[in-house]
Structure 1
Amino acid sequence: MSRKGFFDRQGGLVTDRRSFLKSTGMAGMGAAMVVTKSQLFGESPPSQQIVLAIVGCGGRGSALAAGFLERGDCRIAWVCDPFLPRAEALAKTVEQLQGTRPQVSDDLRRALDDKSVDAIVSATPDHWHALSTVWACQAGKDVYVEKPTSHNAWEGRKMVEAARKYQRIVQIGTQNRSARYNREAKEYIASGKLGRIHLCRIFNQKLWDNFPVRPDSDPPAGLNWDIWNGPAPEA
């Protein structure tokens, strides 16, 4: 992807939601109808719950969904993934955990059009992180988005601009940096009790399975390829 940002199918710069809809041929899609009452983030609705939409229902999205539900103050109203079988699987899990089934869509914009949704949890492939965040801010939603923040600095700046313009809370998935144990360690070092620190060695080993190179093939059944590809250029 060019450092200048998102491009449409003809190579033109895409900086807004409407242009992206036109570039992907999906401008005519209708919004999902909802009947739930709006619960604005920061107010105190009777349920005292934050209404979430999970965007990206793979391993990380599923783990985040379970983590938010463990808090006890969140309810998942939507699960969105361009690969519908994956979204349906997470919807089943969420229903088991919270007792109510979330709505399912292959298009995150349906969740963004739901005024009862307070925030989205974006665990999409990397090329969707920036645009999903900007769209969510434009729709009045707060955002938790996984790392990496974006493909480049231009996209990252657009995310910051959107958060500030629409006065939204955006948390990047570097949550360990704001964890209590890290703050306490920083404060302890700053106190001087360890003396002057001259050298710090850090080890972090993660054993990942290999990601094999697969031969070209048609998209699997149930995958909306245009939405999955999204703002990424066609190969």
Structure 2
Amino acid sequence: MKFLLIEDNQELAHAVMNRMQLDGHVIDHAPNISDAVAFSDTGDYDLILLDIMLPDGDGRDFLTRHRAGEKDTPVIVLTARSQVSDRISMLDMGADDYVTKPFDHAELQARCRAVLRRKARTAQSVIRRGNVALDPVAGHIEVAGKTVTLRNREFRLLELLFNAPGQVFSKQKLVDRLFSYDDDVSENAVEVYIARLRKHLDPSNVSITTLRGFGYRLDHG
């Protein structure tokens, strides 16, 4: 999964990023609202972790703007405010959950998993293309009835393609979804993951088609 962390406390931000990366997630960090808006307007994220007190404004303004744009990316608020009324107001504004500072990182990770599970179940529990079934909750696929476990980025790449069959994804678009802005990777990395996925899909009637000069497309029988 790809996360956006909006947090001005550098020490806390690095701690959260390290824990999330250990779980296999890609995470971009915005220390203020201005950077957060730039990230969210140009990138696609599976989850946003949002601090409230930021150097250039109130995180609730970002949340209001985010929901006004009809984006359904889940948002977990990181807040030092313990009043019940404050937490209720943030949920009413569109937050999916909140964690009160100081928090245990294991609790934050658990809340992230819970929010992502709810979104996956609301969207669709299992995605089927041809004779391949992708389970976003369990994190594996079934190819012609046989369970196949993929590496984290392989799974996320296939999930992107599964959610938009027939749509062409450029290499740069896939790099943006699979890696953070700080990762030093080339578009060749996408070719490696595509090659691995093709091996996994070989027994199926699902294929990843290369359109030279344009990108990749998922096709199925």
TM-score above 0.5, yes or no: no
More helix per residue: 2
Structure exhibiting the larger radius of gyration computed from Cα positions: 1
Query: Scaled by the length of structure 2, what TM-score is found?
Result: 0.27
Higher relative contact order (CA closer than 8 Å, sequence separation 6+): 1
More strand per residue: 2
